Structure 1
Amino acid sequence: MSSNRAYHHGDLRAALITASFEVLAECGLQKFSVAAVARRLNVSSAAPYRHFPDRDHLLAAVSAVAARDLNSTILAAAATVGPDPGDRLAAAAGAYVHHVARSGAGLPVIYAAGLSRITVDGRQEHTRTLMATLMDLAAGTGAGTHREELLLVEATIAVAHGYIALFDDGFFTRGHHTTDDIAARAIEAARALTPSRCP
């Protein structure tokens, strides 16, 4: 459903969140503005402020949805690859690529500076759940200490985020790669971070 159609059905708040994802996918976080979202919906620049007091509160609502959806995507991807812990964590990298390609909202949006103070829309719960999922996947690999698990999560996400950022920047267009191709590369690179367990 397009953001315009969602608004015409009467739920401006939901339409603002949907349109925010579209603006993020096109412009990125640095150029994101409430005014751009309002223009996309053909509403006045003041209309969004009836639902969100400022840019950060709108982004916090987007962050909550993005964290919830990314967590679901990661869990589904991990469930499809079998029991190997390294494969399960690597699947998170592919899930991340697909999520960002589809929504425009990766970890820079989900954990954007300034949002930690905002507690509405279940944002804190969803972001904590997302990180807990990633840490559980890392712990399953037998990485060792909590710090080592955290570093493994960071490396996995850095690989995935790097691939989708390069894809968005046109780095891979010469070879006519698809999002599926980039996700597969991210999975392969992330899998190399975790050695296979001996039977």
Structure 2
Amino acid sequence: MKKVGILGGTFDPPHYGHLLIANEVLSTLHLDEIWFMPNQEPPHKKKSESIKNEDRLRMLELAISGNASFRVETIELDRQGPSYTVDTMKMINAQYSDHQFFFIIGADMIEYLPKWHKIDELINLVQFVGVERPEYNSRTEYPVLYVDVPAIDVSSSMIRDRVKSRQTVRYLLPDSVIQYIEEKHLYGS
């Protein structure tokens, strides 16, 4: 049985924090792959209005290139409306019945688990894997495996703000993603 971690998010833009989390979970849990799953409409937050899905997808492809254990899964981008994890996991489990899935979430989302759409059904569809994030409480009553990940306090919103204000983002995200942002004039660059 193939063991696959799923890291969902807006990836607006993808950064080294995402890659570090994915790599640490892959290694610690001895997974076969990590699937990066950009969402269409996250129910809990608003994605940037100015960035097209094609741009988020391309930046993600650039960010993970060179790692054969990483791939992009577009199931949530391919459908309209809110990206509820329970619906996604039903579809993925039906399509890949010979896989075991681990859904990777940060402490901010662990804290939010009681509010997830159909959480009681969802916990029977996938194993949650939690990673620490500064300033969040990561303890919950829900079944979550914890993986220690070196702390890196970077976020996509911080990167967007830095790009917009012409501050450096070097060493916060891959050079290929920085180049793409500059070429496409994303985030006010």
TM-score by length of 2: 0.25
* More contact order relative to length (CA 8 Å, sep ≥ 6): 2
Larger helix proportion, structure 1 or 2? 1
Larger strand proportion, structure 1 or 2? 2
TM-score by length of 1: 0.24
